[in-house]
A and B are shown apart, each in its own frame.
Chain A
Amino acid sequence: MSLEEKIEEAIVAWDEDSLKDLCNSSIESDDVGASELLRIIGRIMRKIGKLFEEEEIFLPDLIGAANVVKNVIDDVLDPAIRNSGEKRETLGRVVLGTVEGDVHSIGKDLVAAFLFSNGFEVFNLGEEVPPAKYIEKAEEVNAQIIGLSSLLTMSMDIQRQVIEELKNRGLRNKYKVIIGGSPTSEEWAKEIDADGWADDAIEAVMLAKKIIQDK
């Protein structure tokens, strides 16, 4: 079995320990470096994402695999890449979360997993995220995109408030803001001056890719 096959097996089985062992031993033996491991994992995650899109696998399969991979990147690959003085290859950095007053996580986590499987670096802030927190995190990690999820009519207005806050701080043009969630719409995105609206996780990836290309 090739290294890539072994990695895939560990990801599909959600076997975080094996995946860490595989990555560590590969880096230590100077066999395959951390950046290359990241590329391999990226390929596998895209494959898993495609299987999900084609309805061959289910939501837990995708989110669980993304969680395992994220932990391995955070604990093993990112530190190794930093140590080697290289920079992590990424399609782009996205800060996202569900807005303040809203605890819905499933759709947003799916978007996070899907962006991640497609090569984006994702900073998932969780739920009930206040406007300032998005901006601070985006500044900290030098993100290109801020993603705002809202599943409640009551919490939708927070999406507008994040954009207002960006304007207040003179940062509106530094970030592209994309929004989503069942009560939101293309029209709403225009009304609050967001840069894009996505109906589902697949559209969110297409939107994020387009934004990065246009930048």
Chain B
Amino acid sequence: MENLRLKYLKPLSKDEIQIIDSAAIELLSRVGIKIDAESARKLFKDYGCEVEINTNFVKIPEELMRENLKKIPNSFKLYGADGSFNFEVDTKSTKFATIGTPVKIYDPSQKKGIRRTVLEDTIQQIRIVDSLENILCSHIDVWPNDIKVTALHAHCIYQWYKNSKKPYGLGCLGKLASQDMMDMTSVIVGGEKELKLNPRLVGFMNPTSPLHLPQLMTNGYEIFAKYNQPTIIASEAMAGSTAPVTLAGLLVQIVAETIGGAVLGQLYNPGSPIFFGTVSNTTDMRSGNSAIGAIETGLITAGMAQMARFYDIPSRGPGAVTDSKVLDIQNGFERLQTLMFAVQAGINYITCAGTYEATLVEALELLVIDDELASICLRAMEGIQVNEDTIGLDVIRKIALSPKKGTTYLSEKHTRKYMKKELFIPKLIDRNRRTTWRKKGSKDIIERARDRINELLQNYVPPETNPDIEAKLLTMIKDIEERTIDLYKETEGISADGVSIGHVEIKTDKEN
């Protein structure tokens, strides 16, 4: 972080980082990690790993891990569909993106205040993200419940092409769907070569805690890695239920899970980019629910940021997450608490915007608020700049000695020069006097955010698209829609009745 002066939040000492690294490596080499996909197990075996036949646990020798961790790039660029927009992910800067996968959306016109999300919501969310300053990428966040689940990825890619200049993220939802994503995106960007050279898509590969890489995920991850698309490897372990209750124990486990995934990716395609990630949190000891807005989530995130820096790999962690079911104070303080921790931890890719109820529900209002919160956190990290000009002795002398009573710094050039640098000037936060606030409609921040959304959507100009590309994509979608669920099961080698991706349970025992 070039201009950032506030020190990183470092819950771990240098020695403790080493201890966690050693423990994770020991765990992976002695206990191993369970890998469902036979082809992946075979790959590990070819590289000298021991595979437990009965449990499918793969034990990875330390040397193989160290050697492959070094192959992972410490920076890469992500491009938007038409290539005009890009940003770099590295181990120093802070970038913000959205977090999935809400299946409901805030809707005050409904009795319950929420409703199920549909494709139209997905489109609106992509458009809003496209209009925001800090939020650089959306990732099928708003789940289009009205779309057949086996063709959902195809519809989303199509809408991304039509509505965004920014990159896009999708779960590594098996090899068939992931290959569709690559094929469609190749059509959009003018070929596989361009896609591999200048990546457009962010993949999500979530190990299942403890120590398990599920079949569907590794199937999809193989495609993402081979196409060189940066993939987030992030466990959602919960302290006390799917990981040790101790944060140190949890860190060891998720570091091992992430390394297991990362090494597999390097075996698929050496040098393919990944994010060293976490969405791990805690278990509520009263209900057993996940507690993503917990203060400990911030500590876990900060610990993982340190581990990622130790391996020199860009990090990914959650921010602006809350367990609140309404747009209340808990919602607000948990968002800022988790976001500020992530920023202060030096997480390089913070997935953060637009959700509540443990990321189950989307609110476009929160999306624009989080964009502002991101600016606020970045401002905090800039700290206090001290030099002769910022101290401004001359201007202090001038104002203090001014013969005119009531002279302020307001009309000083010094003020004008530094005001935007020193003071973050918010768009949504209200600082008016009550009377002025009342005159403007007595709106709370959610209502003001709604106004902003309406304004952004009204003024939204979609990118220019190519009719030939559109036609090709639509033909591809049609073909994809005609596939049966059995074809998916067969291709992915899934025998179970269903898989769960984020908040979405995909049943494979009947047509969706």
Contact = CB atoms under 8 A, between A and B. Distances in A.
Interface string B376-417: 000000000000000000000000000011111011110110
A200 B432 CA distance: 10
Contacts of A103: 405-406
A98 B413 CA distance: 25
A58 B408 contact: no
A184 to B, nearest CB: 10
B439 interface: yes
Nearest to A103: B406
A199 B436 CA distance: 7
A59 B410 contact: yes
Interface stretch (A41-49, A61-69, A161-169, A207-215): A61-69
A127 interface: yes
A109 B411 CA distance: 10
B406 A14 contact: no
Given A60-B412, A63-B410, 19 more contacts: A58-B425, A60-B410, A60-B411, A60-B415, A60-B416, A61-B416, A63-B411, A64-B410, A64-B411, A64-B413, A66-B411, A67-B411, A105-B406, A106-B410, A108-B406, A109-B406, A126-B406, A200-B435, A200-B436
Given A103-B406, A106-B408, A182 B433 contact: yes
Interface of A: 14, 58-61, 63-64, 66-67, 98, 103-106, 108-109, 126-128, 182, 199-200
Contacts of B416: 14, 60-61, 64
B31 interface: no
A177 B10 CA distance: 61
Given A14-B413, A58-B419, A60-B416, A109 B408 contact: yes
Interface of B: 404-408, 410-413, 415-416, 419, 425, 433, 435-436, 439
A127 B301 CA distance: 53
Nearest to B417: A60
B157 to A, nearest CB: 38
8 contacts: A59-B410, A60-B410, A60-B411, A64-B410, A109-B406, A126-B406, A128-B405, A199-B435
Residue picked from A60, A66, A67, most chain B C-beta under 10 Å: A60
B117 to A, nearest CB: 33
A64 B436 CA distance: 23
A189 to B, nearest CB: 13
Q: Closest 10 interchain pairs by CB?
A: A105-B406, A127-B406, A64-B411, A63-B411, A199-B435, A60-B416, A60-B415, A127-B405, A67-B411, A60-B410
Given A67-B411, A182-B433, A98 B406 contact: yes
Contact of B419 (A60, A66, A104): A60
B410 A199 contact: no
A126 B410 contact: no
Listed residue (A104, A128, A199) with the most chain B CB atoms within 10 angstroms of its CB: A199
Nearest to A200: B436
Contact of B408 (A98, A105, A128, A199): A105
Contacts of B407: 105
B437 to A, nearest CB: 11
A153 to B, nearest CB: 15
A98 B404 CA distance: 13
Contacts of A59: 410
Nearest to B425: A58
A126 B433 contact: no
A124 B80 CA distance: 55
A109 B409 CA distance: 12
A7 to B, nearest CB: 19
